[in-house]
Amino acid sequence: MRKTNLEEAIGRKYPEWVTLVVAADESGRPNAMPAGWVTFTSIDPVMLAVSVGFERYTHGLLKQSDEFVVTYPSAEQKEDVYYCGNHSGADVDKFSETSLKKEEPARVSVPLVQNSVVCFECEKRGELVTGDHTIFAGEIVAAHVAEEDLEKIYTVKGWHEKGYAGFQTIEEMARGR
Amino acid sequence: MRKTNLEEAIGRKYPEWVTLVVAADESGRPNAMPAGWVTFTSIDPVMLAVSVGFERYTHGLLKQSDEFVVTYPSAEQKEDVYYCGNHSGADVDKFSETSLKKEEPARVSVPLVQNSVVCFECEKRGELVTGDHTIFAGEIVAAHVAEEDLEKIYTVKGWHEKGYAGFQTIEEMARGR
């Protein structure tokens, strides 16, 4: 192995999945933030953990609320995911400004996103500050899938400079190699 | 979206990356455990978080030690990763029983794994109990890459029943769809 700087080393982690974290403010207005830093973290109960930067609008939402939804967006939602990553819920209503459509959840008060690959409804169970991000852990209390097995999207190396083309399906990545 | 059970919903998350978490016991003997539940979690400092089940041998190692290494294994290491996932460090010395080779780290006392895609040396900075797993967060204090840009491996849906064929490269997954 060759010792190197963190930038080169981190470049080797891609592809990394991208999810949307949906959370709502006190009035119930929901917002969706793209998040790659998401992992499962318990089998019984089934839990997810999401790492969100302190300065993100969603960080405040997750601090004050006990519910959130994690969706895996489909390839058809690339442009909307890109828009969500480049605008703040403090400034815009992303469900108005994109083609993302809210759908009724089963257990929590935060909406699902239509045409996702899968949506997980979560109730917050713990938090851990890690550097400049907080990890929010949630128990999955309900789950929903698209009828079809839709293609997921992943960020590729250098995605920050690629616009929505930085989000690719498995097949697109395989063609690009 | 169609409400469903967690098993079907979780099936939609794949592919999920697989890493090796290397940690050592008090005598310095290292062990490697496959872990898919790994996420980055801070930009400054750069941090990683690893979720490990309570009953895992590595859980005890990470409780008593402040250092660990996370590697992204390469496609050539599939069989060894499979072996590591099906044996406990309580019973076997995985660095003797597989072709995985230790390599000198730069900052921590836990070894790197030769021919990994990338190795991150971590110092533990926090823990969070989540259900039946603990999330261990670590600051990356050194990083190492393979000279070549090697192919990483991911677990695919149903991987538990596929043997080491459950670990696939991007190209293998694209061919399989």
Instruction: For residue range A89-103, list pLDDT tens digits in order.
Output: 999 999 999 999 999
pLDDT digits (tens, 9 = 90+) for B9-20: 999 999 999 999
How far apart (Å, rounded) are the C-alpha atoms in residues B55 and B11? 24
Query: What number is the ipTM of this complex?
Result: 0.96
Confidence band, pLDDT 50/70/90 cuts, at residue B149: confident
The percent of residues above 90 in pLDDT, for chain B, comes to: 94
Determine the pLDDT at residue A75. Answer: 96
Residues of A in contact with B2 (CB under 8 A): 144-147
Nearest alpha-carbon partner for A10 in B115, B117, B75, B150: B117
Q: Choose among B8, B143, B145: nearest Cβ to A145.
A: B8
Instruction: Please write the tens of the pLDDT for every residue from A123-168.
Output: 999 999 999 999 999 999 999 999 888 999 999 999 989 999 999 9
Strongest mean pLDDT among A157-161, A172-176, B59-63: B59-63
For chain A, domains (ranges, CATH) are 15-176 (2.30.110.10)
B48: closest chain A residue by CA: A130
* Closest by CA position to B130, among listed A43, A59, A153: A43
The answer on pLDDT for A119 being more than 70 is yes
For residue B177, the model assigns a pLDDT of 60
User: How many beta-carbon contacts under 8 Å exist across A and B?
Assistant: 204
* Tokens matching residue A121: 């409804």
Q: What pLDDT, on a 0 to 100 scale, did the predictor assign at position A177? A: 60
d(CA B26, CA B62): 11
For tokens 């592809």, what's the residue?
A15
Q: Does the beta carbon of A107 lie under 8 angstroms from any beta carbon of chain B?
A: no
Note whether B170 contacts A1, CB cutoff 8 Å. Answer: no
Contact of B34 with B84, CB cutoff 8 Å: yes
Does the distance separating the beta carbons of A131 and B128 come in below 8 Å?
A: no
Lowest mean pLDDT among A126-140, B23-37, B89-103, B150-164: B150-164
Which residues, 6+ apart, have CB-to-CB distance to B25 below 8 Å?
A: B31, B61, B64
Query: Is B37 near chain A, with CB under 8 Å?
Result: yes
Q: Are A155 and A14 in contact, with CB atoms under 8 Å apart?
A: yes
Interface of B with A in 82-101 (CB under 8 A): none
Contact flag A106-B44 (C-beta cutoff 8 Å): no
User: Residue A1 is nearest to which of B135, B139, B145, comparing CB atoms?
Assistant: B145
Chain B contact for A160, CB < 8 A?
no
- The number of angstroms, rounded, from the C-alpha of A43 to the middle of its chain's C-alpha atoms is 20
Query: What separation in angstroms does the CA of A136 have from each of A63, A127, B104?
Result: 9, 5, 35
Per residue in A14-52, pLDDT (tens digit) is 999 999 999 999 999 999 999 999 999 999 999 999 999
pLDDT score recorded for residue B176: 80
Looking at every residue in chain B, the average pLDDT score rounds to: 96
Rounded to a whole number of angstroms, the distance from the CA of A90 to the nearest CA of chain B is 22
Contacts of A145 in chain B (CB under 8 A): 1-2, 4, 8-9, 12
Q: Is A140 in CB contact (< 8 Å) with chain B? A: yes
